[in-house]
């Protein structure tokens, strides 16, 4: 990954101090015997997997989780030595790659174990985490016979070790969902199935961010902290009942690149969907849907310019979009899309609610065209311009 200057007037700022404080808050919330697995999949939810991983480990996390083997290998190639678990399915023919890079894999199919073993050489070993489907309906074993068969198949392989067992809650972010307790019960039952086989995995985990916030004493011995490590509540329901403070780490900024006065009847952007009703000052911003600032964000959306909220006007283009300014402003004036300016704030939740989606989606959509500036304790640590890497 190349680091250095960038040559556009749009950038994201990632405050690693917030990541650090969020992990430490979880460390205080959770029992001393419960470790923290920091989830850095999807390039750290758009924040940057490598700097987030380093910060989380320094703050007290002991394990990392990703979705893909490719993500795990990238972290290893950048010097990360901590244990890493791939949460999704890895192709059995790629088992040798996992062994080479010392990556733990998720398993839920006995046939996978047999095939993966055939791709491993003498001396190669892989730690496995057995996934149990207790109600998410995505991946995982679903009954006693399937689960025990898988465990016994693992035991027959000299290359594989059952290091962990886990499940994932579908509705832990809903305060009144009976499914949460049902999943707890099903997972406890699955642990009894494992005990019957004699298996004793080191790690037992069911706590995503929501479950870890709500039931810190019930999530066994390692918590998977994802969205809340980045300072975001898992849902609107939980936002108002959080047991610890969460600090949002991601801000998105740009600058005015053009300012013009339009007359009544003048139109703005593709399709001429916006028509000025009076004399107006229109500012152009160098960000668009190719940067992950989607067209739907223009629907009643706002930015902050001059310390006040200003509406988007017209359709968002691939590389640019327009806002209606309260008065004539200057080219180069800063505009905040996510974050604080003056007394105004636009949070990730604000953008998500306005567009009828969840806060998880917003930072994940901001593409590599947008440079990242990493800060800690108010000091810039590095500037990352991924686009220079191809």
Q: Which residue has the tokens 């556009």?
A: 8
Q: What is the pLDDT of residue 4?
A: 64
The H or E element that residue 196 is part of is helix 179-197
Q: What is the pLDDT of residue 1?
A: 38
Q: Domain 250-359's class?
A: mainly beta
What span, in angstroms and rounded, lies between the C-alpha atoms of 172 and 207? 9
Percent residues over pLDDT 70 in the chain: 98
Catalytic residue numbers read 41, 270
What span, in angstroms and rounded, lies between the C-alpha atoms of 345 and 337? 9
What span, in angstroms and rounded, lies between the C-alpha atoms of 6 and 82? 31
**Burial, 239: exposed, middle or buried (Cβ in 10 Å; 0-12, 13-18, 19+)?**
middle
| Known binding residues for substrate | 138, 318
For 308-359, how does the pLDDT look when each residue is reduced to its tens digit (9 = 90+)? Answer: 999 999 999 999 999 999 999 999 999 999 999 999 999 999 999 999 999 9
Residue ranges, comma separated, of all CATH 3.20.20.10 domains in the chain are: 16-232
Confidence of residue 5 (pLDDT cuts 50, 70, 90): confident
Q: Which CATH architecture has domain 16-232?
A: Alpha-Beta Barrel (3.20)
Confidence of residue 381 (pLDDT cuts 50, 70, 90): confident
For 144-190, how does the pLDDT look when each residue is reduced to its tens digit (9 = 90+)? Answer: 999 999 999 999 999 999 999 999 999 999 999 999 999 999 999 99
Residue ranges, comma separated, of all CATH 2.40.37.10 domains in the chain are: 250-359
| Known binding residues | 138, 318
pTM, full prediction: 0.95
Average pLDDT over residues 71-98: 98
Smallest Cα–Cα separation from 104: which of 116, 123, 87, 92?
87
Q: What is the pLDDT of residue 2?
A: 44
């Amino acid at each position: 990954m190349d680091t250095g200057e960038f040559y556009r007037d749009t950038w994201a700022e990632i405050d690693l101090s917030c990541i650090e404080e969020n992990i430490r808050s979880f460390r205080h919330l959770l029992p001393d015997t419960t470790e923290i697995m920091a989830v850095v999949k999807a390039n750290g939810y758009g924040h940057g997997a490598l700097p987030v991983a380093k910060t989380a480990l320094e703050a007290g996390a002991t394990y990392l989780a990703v979705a893909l083997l490719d993500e795990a290998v990238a972290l290893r190639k950048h010097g990360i030595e901590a244990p890493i678990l791939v949460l999704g399915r890895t192709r059995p023919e790629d088992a040798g790659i996992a062994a080479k890079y010392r990556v733990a894999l998720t398993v839920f199919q006995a046939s996978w174990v047999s095939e993966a073993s055939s791709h491993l050489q003498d001396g190669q070993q892989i730690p496995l985490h057995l996934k149990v489907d207790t109600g998410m309906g995505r991946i995982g074993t679903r009954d006693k016979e399937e689960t025990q068969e898988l465990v016994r198949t693992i035991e027959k392989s000299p290359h594989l070790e059952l290091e962990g067992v886990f499940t994932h809650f579908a509705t832990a972010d809903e305060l009144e969902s009976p499914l949460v307790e049902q999943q707890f019960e099903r997972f406890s039952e699955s642990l009894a199935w494992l005990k019957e086989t004699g298996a004793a995995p080191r790690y037992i985990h069911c706590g995503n961010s929501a479950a870890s916030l709500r039931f810190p004493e019930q999530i066994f011995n390692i918590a998977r902290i994802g969205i809340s490590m980045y300072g975001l509540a898992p849902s609107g329901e939980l936002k108002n009942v959080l047991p610890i403070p969460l600090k949002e780490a991601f801000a998105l900024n740009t600058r005015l690149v053009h300012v013009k006065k339009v007359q009544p009847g003048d139109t703005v952007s593709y399709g001429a969907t916006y028509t000025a009703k009076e004399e107006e000052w229109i500012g152009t911003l160098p960000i668009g849907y190719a940067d992950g600032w989607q067209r739907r964000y223009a629907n009643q959306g706002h930015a902050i310019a001059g310390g006040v909220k200003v509406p988007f006007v017209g359709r968002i283009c691939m590389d640019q979009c327009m806002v209606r300014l309260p008065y004539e402003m200057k080219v180069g004036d800063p505009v905040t899309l996510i974050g604080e300016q003056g007394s105004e704030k636009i949070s990730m939740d604000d953008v998500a609610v306005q567009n009828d989606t969840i806060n998880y989606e917003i930072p994940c959509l901001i593409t590599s065209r947008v440079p990242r500036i990493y800060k800690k304790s108010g000091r810039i640590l590095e500037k990352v311009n991924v686009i220079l890497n191809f």
